Amino acid sequence: MFRICKEFHFCASHSLETLPLGHKCAGLHGHNYIVYLELESETLDETGFIIDFHELSAFKDYIDDAFDHRHLNDVMDIPPTTENVAFHFYTWCKARWPQTSAVRVSETPKTWAEYRPKSAA
């Protein structure tokens, strides 16, 4: 199996309103998000690529337009946790690039969440 990954960055604010009052992440705060888009394939095209990294610029455009410098609670209709942001991006990418295998999102240098569907095997 071949696997590639490209990294994307954006800055955004959110508040996790489903957390108990007093939890430090319930109030308004922001992160410098890092998104890792992973794609995999058993085969390569005639160039030797799963996909040209440049084709993934559509994802950068989407992040820049819809997420960068936004308040994620206004952008998403589910709580903007790292897990849900990863799932949202996975769904967006999978619809465009069937080779999409996982999306990982990091809010802080010490944490990340990933959406990777259970393999059929």
| Catalytic hit among 69, 88, 93, 114 | 69
Say whether residue 82 binds ligand LPXRUNBV (CB under 6 A): yes
Residues with Cβ within 8 Å of 10's Cβ and at least 6 positions away in sequence, in order, are: 33, 35, 63, 64, 67, 68, 69
Does 16 participate in binding ligand LPXRUNBV (rule CB under 6 A)? yes
Q: Binding site annotation covers 88?
A: no
Instruction: Specify the 3-state DSSP secondary structure of 105.
Output: strand
Identify whether 25 is a catalytic site residue. yes
Identify the CA nearest to 50 among candidates 38, 61, 60: 38
Of 4 and 26, which CB lies nearer to ligand LPXRUNBV in the complex structure? 26
Measure Cα distances from 102 to 29, 52, 116 in Å. 26, 17, 4
> Contacting ligand LPXRUNBV (CB under 6 A), which of 55, 111, 116, 117?
111
Check whether 71 is labelled as a binding-site residue.
Answer: no
108 binds ligand LPXRUNBV (CB under 6 A): yes
**Residue whose beta carbon is closest to ligand LPXRUNBV:** 82
* Tokens, residue 15: 């508040």
Q: How far apart are CA 31 and CA 101, in angstroms?
A: 25
**Interaction between residue 106 and ligand LPXRUNBV (CB under 6 A):** no
**Chain residues that interact with ligand LPXRUNBV, rule: CB under 6 A:** 16, 25, 81-83, 107-108, 111, 113
